[in-house]
Structure 1
Amino acid sequence: MATLQATFYGHTFDNPFMNASGVHCMDKTELDELAASASGSFVTKSATADSRDGNPEPRYINLELGSINSMGLPNLGLAYYLEDAIKRQAANPDTPFFLSVASYKGFDEYVSNMKHIQESDYTGLVELNLSCPNVPGKPQMAYDFEDTEKLLNEIFKFYTKPFGVKLPPYFDFMHFDKIADVLNKFDIKFVNCVNSVGNGLYIDEATDTVVIKPKGGFGGIGGEYIKPTALANVRALRQRLNPSIDIIGTGGILTGRDAYEHLLCGASMLQVGTQLHKEGLGVFERLNTELLAILEAKGYTSIADFKGKLATLD
């Protein structure tokens, strides 16, 4: 009998599926619904120091092959999610989940947010989102390799709890090399790749207008459009990162086959964003069924039998 149990940073999850931060995780009610779903775990909304309303609507649109969004990091503030996380952890200490933290103001807010978590009673996994808007005139934090290393150096001066980083997509082998060189210097526990492909544009053929309001219509692309990019990032970083660093695969997971390919490239856990938004929480039960059928058809008994074993044409 095949099992979908996933091992990640010393924890065992019933299956590898999670939501992607930003989808069905804004408040305690949505998090409760995730916890009760067929997902293996869940992650909270990426929290900034203060609550944010985010960008003006429309800011998210489903597209035929995915989605486009420019949300502007709407969230209820770090204090809200941290308080809830502490209560959840105390009530169910053997059921790990992920607390996501971000910054809209740049370096100092990242550091301050991590200090708040360090000083709190929360001891669980943290996803440090380095792929959000940074200070004006600067790229996303993770696109600036020097600043990323500087930030991690500062955080590791005081932070002693387990955390990983969420990354944007990279598109050049040199960039894979550079970000891996930075991350391998630190005792981070995981990387999540990838966030949406930034600054795409979609045009409504009936009106000849863009479909979202912020940034003149430019937004992050998710869903089926980005699966090849996501798989490449999972594969490239698995080849370059220390073996002790786990990978969460995110991007273009619509079916069990998509999930299987992320695992084949070396992911240990999987996050679902656009398809969760389109389909609702039932997506997790369907994905579990489809992925399990693939394992059974191939004669595998566990994810470990094939994880990271993508073949090449050498």
Structure 2
Amino acid sequence: MALYPLFRPLAFALDAERAHRWTVGMLKRLPAGHPPRPDPVLAIDVAGIHFPNPVGLAAGFDKDAEVFRQLLRFGFGFVEIGTLTPRPQAGNPRPRLFRLVEDEAVINRMGFNNQGVAAARIRLTAPRRRLFETVRGTIDKLQCRRPGIVGVNLGANKDSLDRIADYVAGMKVMLGVANYLTINISSPNTPGLRGLQDKGALDELLAAAIETRGRDRSSIFLKVAPDLEARAIEDIAAVALGRGIDGLIVGNTTTSRPPLRSRHRDQAGGLSGAPLKPLALERLRDFRKATGGQLPLIAAGGIASGMDAYERIRAGASLVQLYSALVYRGPGLAKAVNKELKRLLAQDGFANVAEAVGTAA
């Protein structure tokens, strides 16, 4: 964390997407990490999953499950890969990723560029190493031994004629592989995708998802946009509760534009980072009210400190996710957020994270 300000100018000398690919390439050189040891203060059970801490890495960084094991070494309680589509796709034309340095923000119009669910499944299930038990003369079976909590974010192909079928196809590939699956209907960069947030379409989608899951133990989360009106929030909450999904991720990037200073402020795409914080917090409070605390909420958008995480937790989130802040704060951010969060919990007399959830709602 302390050295990142020295490294950042080198990364920022590259265009944003090239710098990201360079970072992923460097991470591949690192050995796999170990999940953080569960801390009695920070550990929390959500949707039947025991998270060692509530600070996760949002989808978008490790789209193709290339470095999820390495990322866990930086203190994340969980890592979400993707967004993945049934078929590989190139995404939107470049340039499509922009740093707004003066605003500590990012605008992207990536368009679900990824290698497809089949390629990611191979990486998720690949054994870390072969284990030979020479004394006993037996060879350990080659099994996937996930190093921590890993979620898979699923989307639909841009040219799909049946997007619900795309989510079902993605689920069928990933069931039993991830701790949880996220149905992402919140991206602004796939035309028409956010239409699945409409009540009727959403009910059909979630019914198909629940049926596809069957008896599998994977939890299902739904990721929604921050750009929602009050009626849509009520409808989404009602459908999510009615269909019995396991949690809501609130939210994603925004198409709105608060006052920004960067020369890239007028680029098309979804805005993330510090300027998204007020909207994301407001939307979290709306969903907490709409669900009555009956559905776990995962907060995303504009989280860059332990205080930000604490505010979301007290507003109703059981977990938080960050991504854009890493660009500006560096790889030590998750550990720093957890450290500050633990201090704030103790300061206010909470024995653990679960006690603080929703106390300001």
TM-score (norm 2): 0.75
Q: 2:50 aligns with which of 12, 33, 50?
A: 12
Q: Who is 1:79 aligned against?
A: 118
Identity percentage of aligned residues: 25
Q: Who is 2:332 aligned against?
A: 282
1:286-308 per-position Cα deviation (integer Å, ceiling 9, x unaligned) = 11111112122222221122210
Q: 2:183 aligns with which of 128, 135, 139?
A: 128
Q: 1:146 to 1:186 in 2, by over 3 A?
A: same
Contact 2:203 2:243 survives alignment (8 Å): no
1:58 aligns with 2:95: yes
Q: Who is 2:18 aligned against?
A: none
* 3-state SS of 2:152 partner: strand
* 3-state SS of 2:327 partner: helix
Q: 1:151 to 1:29 in 2, by over 3 A?
A: closer
Q: CA RMSD in A?
A: 2.8
Q: 1:57 to 1:289 in 2, by over 3 A?
A: same
Deviating more after overlay: 187-196 vs 162-171: 162-171
Q: Who is 1:194 aligned against?
A: 251
Shift of 1:196: 0.5
Unpaired runs of 5+ residues, structure 2, are: 1-38, 129-142
CA distance in 1, matches of 2:254, 2:234: 19
Contact 2:65 2:124 survives alignment (8 Å): no
1:144 aligns with 2:198: yes
TM-score (norm 1): 0.85
CA distance in 1, matches of 2:280, 2:354: 21
1:96-133 per-position Cα deviation (integer Å, ceiling 9, x unaligned) = 32011101335724424423533654363101111135
CA distance in 2, matches of 1:290, 1:110: 41
Q: 1:96 aligns with which of 140, 144, 149?
A: 149
1:182 aligns with 2:235: no
Which letter does structure 2 place at the counterpart of 1:114? Answer: V
CA distance in 2, matches of 1:40, 1:135: 29
Shift of 1:135: 7.2
Which letter does structure 1 place at the counterpart of 2:209? Answer: I
Unpaired runs of 5+ residues, structure 1, are: none
* 3-state SS of 2:317 partner: coil
Q: 1:53 to 1:277 in 2, by over 3 A?
A: farther
1:36-83 per-position Cα deviation (integer Å, ceiling 9, x unaligned) = 220001000110112222223322222223221111111121112223
1:116-173 per-position Cα deviation (integer Å, ceiling 9, x unaligned) = 533654363101111135875x351344222112222233333324211111014432
Which letter does structure 1 place at the counterpart of 2:225? Answer: P
CA distance in 2, matches of 1:69, 1:202: 17
Q: Who is 1:230 aligned against?
A: 280
Deviating more after overlay: 187-196 vs 149-158: 149-158
Which letter does structure 1 place at the counterpart of 2:289? Answer: Q
Contact 1:202 1:211 survives alignment (8 Å): no
1:246-282 per-position Cα deviation (integer Å, ceiling 9, x unaligned) = 1110011011110001101111111102102333321
1:202-223 per-position Cα deviation (integer Å, ceiling 9, x unaligned) = 9887xxxx638xxx82111111
Q: 1:264 aligns with which of 310, 314, 323?
A: 314
Shift of 1:309: 0.9
Q: 1:114 aligns with which of 149, 165, 168?
A: 168
Q: 1:242 to 1:183 in 2, by over 3 A?
A: farther
* 3-state SS of 1:294 partner: helix
Deviating more after overlay: 171-180 vs 267-276: 171-180
Give the number of equivalent residue pairs: 302
CA distance in 2, matches of 1:249, 1:238: 11
* 3-state SS of 1:257 partner: helix
* 3-state SS of 2:212 partner: coil
Contact 1:134 1:141 survives alignment (8 Å): no
Deviating more after overlay: 38-47 vs 151-160: 151-160
Contact 2:277 2:303 survives alignment (8 Å): yes
1:33 aligns with 2:86: no
Task: Look at both structures and tell me which one has the larger radius of gyration over its CA atoms.
Answer: 2
Contact 1:15 1:40 survives alignment (8 Å): yes
Contact 1:197 1:222 survives alignment (8 Å): yes
* 3-state SS of 2:211 partner: coil
